[in-house]
Structure 1
Amino acid sequence: MPVKEFKLPDVGEGVAEGELVTWLVAPGDRVEEDQAVAEVETDKALVEVPSRYDGTVEELFVEEGEIVPVGDVIISFRVGEDGDGGGTEGEATGEPTGDSDAGATESATGASAEAESEADAEEPATPSGRTFAPPSARRLARELGVDIAAVDGSGPGGRISEADVRAHAEDDGDSDDGPSVKSASDAPDPKPAPTPTDSGSSGRKSAVKKRGGSGAGSGSEAAATASTGAAAPGPAGRETTLATPATRKVARELGVDIDDVPTDETRDGEAFVTGEDVRAYAEAPESAGEAAEASADASAPEPKSVDVSTSADAAGATGASPASESVSTDETVPYRGVRRTIGKQMERSKYTAPHVTHHDTVAVDALVEAREELKPRAEEQGVNLTYMPFVMKAIVAGLKEYPSLNSELREDEEEIVLKGDYNLGIAVATDAGLMVPVVENVDEKGLFELAEEVRDLASRARERELKPAEMKGGTFSITNFGAIGGEYATPIINYPETAILGLGAIEERPVARDGEVVAAPTLPLSLSIDHRVIDGAVAAEFANTVMEHLEHPLLLLTH
């Protein structure tokens, strides 16, 4: 079969690179044209990359978490010219799909009718449509002889987890139609299918896990070591190790050097490590230590009571410290995806544009009353009217009067571009980080229309459903830290824009009126500007214009 290489396409508006966050397929998987094969993070958006081919995944060239330039090869497929779509996963990879004995003895020229019928009976039918599962779940499915496409996913969008695969395998094991598969609690050391012969693999490098008696022994030996309290196996210290991207990710998360992980499995003469090998190596020392402690406790007589002071004295006499036995509670979180994108953008902005922040507070009695009067009318149209549309309109009024705040500095061309459009970015806090969807042509839209569009964009931002184009083209940004109770801040400009306005919480605060101090609803404002383009006096005048329109909301009708 011919091998087709697939390059990372332009998944945004002319982006130069993206981070491959998650592989949705693994080597040996069957894919169809337009099926998603990977998730790529670019410019604060998570997008799925679809396949251009019908075929079988041959090799993954990029590891999860790696930054990939657009146009680089990320994956290859084996594409058959005739009848490629009709083969099963096992036929494409050379692995047995039904009875292990029949699959291992089947030759290249064909097998007996009895073995073929048995294999066909035991292989579940593959339902149509896409199958979303991480490489670890797909690998486990192959090890347990489960058709990944037949598994019901419990994750978002039907995504399949390792637990789903095990549950499906256990259900099949309870029936008489397929091989008996026990859960991990019932059988901690299941025997995997035997390694196929060289003729069965067609002489190519297989990316499907193949474990024979010695390979299975590595897992059982680890369990035996833990149960007896013997020492864990030492590091292998190899110079070269073959492993899938998912396995390398597991090694990184567990802080394990993959070249040190013992394994009896090889591919093309090189050591091949699986995720189970990595986990066993990482857990072996701790398990052995726990087993030794348990054995010692079992052999020692149980004391009737414990004197805390005596225990402390004994610890001091032996030189042991209770603190030295405590386990670190530090947690390591990967710095990648949206968080790294935000970090790079903020770093570029902060160290490129000299920031100055102007603070002020505006009394908004009339604004509060205007919103209360309009809320019933908005609710009749199914709109939740917030203060944001009023602020957006007031900002547009200020930008029209002071266009330097609606600009971009192009240093290479040595020019300042005063934008003719009024596209306002609204910062939205999500579980994945800060998203800034853009509301275009704010000057041409009414309050209700703006309220509905902001709600829709914010909702889809939290669900990670925004398109890259919906976070492009902003000319000025707004961040509402007052939503969580803040008052003033120093927001960082969304470069290459030149200004951003931060909104505090609208609360009653002391206000001086006619010589008396009264309580009135006020809105704190924090305006950050790029001092290379905007002078402090201009920033203050812009803020005054915005505040004037918020103090007298009827002025918004003139824009």
Structure 2
Amino acid sequence: MIVEFKLPELGENIETADISKVAVKKGDTIKVDQTIVEIETDKATVEVPSDQEGVVSEVLVKDGDNVKVGAVLIKIETSGGEHKEKKEENKETDKDKTPEPEKEEKPEPKKEEKTETVREKSAKTSTAKSGTYEFKLPELGEGIETADVTKVLVKKGDSVNVDDSVIEIETDKATVEVPIDTAGIIKDVKIKDGEKAKVGETIIILETTSETTTTNEDESAEVKHVEETTEEKTEPAAASEVKQSEIISPQKEKIISQFRSAMPEKIAPASPSVRRFAREIGIDIHEVSGSGPGGRISVEDVKKFAKTLNEKISSQSGGGIGIKQEALPDFSKWGSIRREPMNNIRRKTAEHLSYAWATVPHVTQFDKADITELEKARKAFSKTVEKAGGKLTVTAILVKVIASALKAFPNFNTSIDLQNNEIIYKDYYNVGIAVDTDRGLIVPVIKDADKKNITKLAVELSEISEKARNKKTTIEEMQGGNFSISNLGGIGGTGFSPIVNTPEVAILGVSRASYQPVYMDGEFVPRLIMPLSLSYDHRIIDGADGARFLRWVCSALEQPLLLALEG
């Protein structure tokens, strides 16, 4: 039996992956949980194990391919061929049992309804004979119940003829002028610019002229003729439809046709709540493909369409949030060049940081921490931490300091929900650590940093850094961060401005510590000074709070006892 092994679900919002390595070939015997391929998404690099055992009969992907979730990667020959044959036999049997289609019953023509509709029109026109006619907002198309009156084109005392435009209206489909279907003099205007009118609502009262009466008499004769014809014989359904369309006034048909030209031919199969949701986020419901029965559209379908649309716009703008990208010059004019495709991590980093920089109003604050005493303590306890399996670094100590600082400054442990105009306060303390890899920057997260001592944090930090560099970081290990730390001290530099890793609201940058002369007790003494930079979202964090937070961090590094007192 041949089994197709497909790329499984990789996590929320992950739809594709790059095949970095195919671990099997045709003819290989594989077991359950054996690695089939190594993939790279915009979140992490992971190995994909098999859920079947058997012999690889075909490999459908190769190194470097980009595949979608659900795509067939390999075909595996397993035991159980008889089962497949029986299944096919059952299918053939089911085909033989297919019931015969039922005979269609032709509906009988509806004589009474047609006559009734014509009589209604006759009654309507006879109202005009009395001298006063109420002109109501006509039907505008399927699903359109109201319209905004953008401009009233007539006023009391104006004389109007048939087909004269009296108002200009706007719906969520189009903007059109509405012509009147009766001639006369405007007696009263019931609406004004900017108001919302319902279909069927009286918008103008008209004093009719004798010309209208003549027209109505002609229509009465037509009504009589239609009634006699209906009683004499039954007409085919097609003829019935023709006469029904004749009943619609030319004015109403003119309005509806304008809206039809602005609407798709097919009405989208979606509930009112789904349509409303689509309108609220600016999506045309008719462009969305439904995943439900009969193509019915759900809220999830609309969200997926919006996400795809945003990604398309983002890719066209190079991740620059709609900023038009200038065309690049031909660099080959000045020398040899080579082009390499961005890997998923690099591409996603570019998009995410462009989004963060464009949407978050950044402020960066700078300060310096005297870590002379802290460095002595770090060296003194480094052997103890090594025995536990970790390495006591300044970053490990900073994770503990930041967890305590987030408790002291709750607004740094938040996210902003602009859709609901709310601030989300978090009661957990997860700290992300930026790790430099040969594939780009990734940020694994240390969970519940406030509940772990520095030794445990040092061990975990060593583990996640090693996994990141060996492409073993899982998607779950990169989610749920509240605050990030980017330490470039091991490389160099005296300061930098890190970009906030939204939806977080702050990030700490750490630069290389150096010995500097500091004036203490009447003399200059060498002290180990470490530059720190704090970038934050100015929508939620004020400048004074930013300065206090960074000074608190510096004090905690300079006076470790502060953690025991306040942390």
Q: Contact 1:426–1:437 at 8 Å: present in 2 too? A: yes
Aligned residues: 316
User: Offset at 1:416?
Assistant: 1.9
Residue 537 of structure 2 is aligned to residue 538 of structure 1:
no
**Secondary structure class of the residue paired with 2:490:** helix
1:311-348 per-residue CA deviation (whole Å, 9 max, x = no partner) reads xxxxxxxxxxxxxxx99653433311332232233223
Identify the residue that residue 255 of structure 1 maps to in structure 2.
none
In structure 1, distance between residues paired with 2:25 and 2:420: 46
Identify the residue that residue 498 of structure 2 maps to in structure 1.
491
Counterpart residue identity of residue 37, structure 1: I
Counterpart residue identity of residue 406, structure 2: L
Counterpart residue identity of residue 466, structure 1: T
Q: Contact 2:56–2:74 at 8 Å: present in 1 too? A: no
Q: Contact 1:389–1:447 at 8 Å: present in 2 too? A: yes
In structure 1, distance between residues paired with 2:561 and 2:531: 20
Q: Contact 1:26–1:60 at 8 Å: present in 2 too? A: no
Identify the residue that residue 66 of structure 1 maps to in structure 2.
66
**Secondary structure class of the residue paired with 1:555:** helix
Once the two structures are superposed, the pairs formed by residues 404-553 of structure 1 within 5 Å of their partners are 404-513=411-520, 517-553=524-560
Identify the residue that residue 396 of structure 1 maps to in structure 2.
403
Q: Indicate the larger mover: 382-391 or 435-444.
A: 382-391
Residue 564 of structure 2 is aligned to residue 557 of structure 1:
yes
Q: Contact 1:370–1:553 at 8 Å: present in 2 too? A: no
In structure 2, distance between residues paired with 1:45 and 1:493: 20
In structure 1, distance between residues paired with 2:505 and 2:533: 14
Identify the residue that residue 316 of structure 1 maps to in structure 2.
none
RMSD after superposition = 3.1
In structure 2, distance between residues paired with 1:15 and 1:48: 15
Q: Indicate the larger mover: 541-550 or 410-419.
A: 410-419
Identify the residue that residue 37 of structure 1 maps to in structure 2.
36
In structure 1, distance between residues paired with 2:506 and 2:431: 11
User: Offset at 1:423?
Assistant: 0.9
1:226-263 per-residue CA deviation (whole Å, 9 max, x = no partner) reads xxxxxxxxxxxxxxxxxxxxxxxxxxxxxxxxxxxxxx
Counterpart residue identity of residue 450, structure 1: L
1:86-111 per-residue CA deviation (whole Å, 9 max, x = no partner) reads xxxxxxxxxxxxxxxxxxxxxxxxxx
- How does the TM-score come out when normalised to structure 1? 0.51
Counterpart residue identity of residue 10, structure 1: E
**Secondary structure class of the residue paired with 2:507:** strand
In structure 1, distance between residues paired with 2:453 and 2:429: 14
In structure 1, distance between residues paired with 2:477 and 2:518: 40
Same amino acid, percent of matched pairs = 39
Q: 1:380 to 1:18 in 2, by over 3 A?
A: closer
Identify the residue that residue 51 of structure 1 maps to in structure 2.
50
Q: Contact 1:59–1:77 at 8 Å: present in 2 too? A: no
In structure 2, distance between residues paired with 1:534 and 1:30: 58
User: Offset at 1:14?
Assistant: 6.5
Identify the residue that residue 115 of structure 1 maps to in structure 2.
none
User: Offset at 1:549?
Assistant: 0.8
1:486-523 per-residue CA deviation (whole Å, 9 max, x = no partner) reads 22111122222111101111211233445654431111
In structure 1, distance between residues paired with 2:31 and 2:397: 49
> For structure 2, which runs of at least 5 residues remain unmatched after alignment?
84-332
In structure 1, distance between residues paired with 2:21 and 2:351: 21
In structure 1, distance between residues paired with 2:77 and 2:355: 42
User: Offset at 1:544?
Assistant: 1.2
**Secondary structure class of the residue paired with 1:412:** coil
User: Offset at 1:83?
Assistant: 9.8
Q: Contact 2:343–2:439 at 8 Å: present in 1 too? A: no
In structure 2, distance between residues paired with 1:372 and 1:33: 47
Which one has a larger percent strand, Structure 1 or Structure 2?
2
Identify the residue that residue 267 of structure 2 maps to in structure 1.
none
In structure 1, distance between residues paired with 2:513 and 2:459: 21
Q: Contact 1:23–1:64 at 8 Å: present in 2 too? A: no
